[in-house]
Amino acid sequence: MKMHKYRNRWLTVGVATLIVITFIATYKSNNETLTGRLDFSSNQASASASPSTRSEALAILMKASKRPIMRNPQVQTFADVPPTHPYFVHIEQAVADNLIAGNVQRGVRNFRADSYMTRAEFATLANAVFGLKDQTLKAGYPFISDNGASTWYQTQVNTLYRFGGVETAFRPGDSITTTEASASAKSLAQRALYTSRGELAEKISDALYLPLIRCRQGVARDVSSAHPHCPAIQAAISAGIFSGYADGTFDPAREMTRAEVAVVLANAFDLGSSQNETLFADDAAIPAWSRGAVAALNDTGAPVADDENRFNPVATATSWYITDLVDFLSDR
């Protein structure tokens, strides 16, 4: 009996010990798992301060610029960017838009997609993606201390500064971080994404080869002879493409809605006014004063609607939208 009694006692102690050990092991395992998640979360949180890869920086710029992105690219351009790459569609779109070419070594073309991008390389790519016009160094521009005049990136950096994408110290050889790339792209999107009335006059003047005459006096109260777009605005007004406002201003810096752009382009390319139905999903939202021009523009087959067949008449027209329309109409 005593033997059974002690045996039962030891059995009870053993079971209790096993339970305690199991509890400790489980707690330790759970705690390690939790710690691992916290570490992973911490790594994710600090990832934005890590150097950005070339593919990631490109994708950031492409998204910020609102460039149309193809959904299913049929061609793989670079050996190191297969269709499974997370930024494959952005890279292939950049190739299609003639923004990148990659490097060819021993007959193999690579993009070095997962290498870090320097800030100088980012400046050059940002200029291309946003279609910024080169800005040479001019008197009065804030001095960028490490942007040497003889460097290959000098003009690109200065242009980026002009559009608010660079601080005064540039550090061209440093790798750009995800945070820096995102901040720069956001700044550029706010200042270079849309086309102003003055810029549209310039685009149309270039497309139609309008004769540009040096402005000897201002063409509007807010467009002096020294205004960079004065010759183009003067030519567009003379051709009946644009008109100013009743108060004598032109408002050259104002962005335009898609409905306003339709009217200007219909005038510029002699499309007239159409009574045809457009059958857009948001037809009812198109203002009456622009309906004929919108229909005429649509009659040409120009890419005026979005993927959901909406015209979005009151949306601000992006630079890419206007460029696509001007190029399409110029090639007709």
Identify the CA nearest to 153 among candidates 122, 177, 179, 180: 122
pLDDT (0 to 100) of residue 304: 92
In the chain, the N- to C-terminal Cα span, in Å, equals 107
Residue 134 binned pLDDT confidence (cut-offs 50, 70, 90):
low
Cα gap 91→267, rounded to integer Å = 37
Collect all residues with Cβ–Cβ distance below 8 Å to 80 and sequence separation of at least 6: 110, 111, 112, 113, 114
pLDDT (0 to 100) of residue 56: 97
Cα gap 315→196, rounded to integer Å = 14
List beta partners, residue 318: 194
Collect all residues with Cβ–Cβ distance below 8 Å to 151 and sequence separation of at least 6: 120, 172
Cα gap 97→99, rounded to integer Å = 5
196 near 255, Cβ under 8 Å? yes
pLDDT (0 to 100) of residue 24: 39
Cα gap 39→247, rounded to integer Å = 62
Evaluate if residue 150 carries a pLDDT over 90.
Answer: no
Residue 141 binned pLDDT confidence (cut-offs 50, 70, 90):
very low
Tokens found for residue 220: 């509007």
Q: pLDDT digits over 73-98, tens only?
A: 989 999 999 999 999 999 999 999 99
Pick the residue with more confidence: 62 or 16?
62
Look-up: residue for tokens 């870090």?
Answer: 116
Neighbours of 113 (CB within 10 A): 20
pLDDT (0 to 100) of residue 193: 73
Evaluate if residue 44 carries a pLDDT over 60.
Answer: no
Tokens found for residue 322: 């206007």
pLDDT (0 to 100) of residue 163: 62
Structure letter (DSSP) for residue 142: P
Identify the CA nearest to 201 among candidates 294, 268, 263: 268
Average pLDDT over residues 154-181: 76
pTM here is 0.54
pLDDT (0 to 100) of residue 214: 85
99 near 130, Cβ under 8 Å? no
Pick the residue with more confidence: 132 or 68?
68
Mean pLDDT computed over every residue of the chain: 80
Look-up: residue for tokens 């999903």?
Answer: 281
Q: pLDDT digits over 227-239, tens only?
A: 888 999 999 999 9
List beta partners, residue 220: 223
Tokens found for residue 128: 């291309």
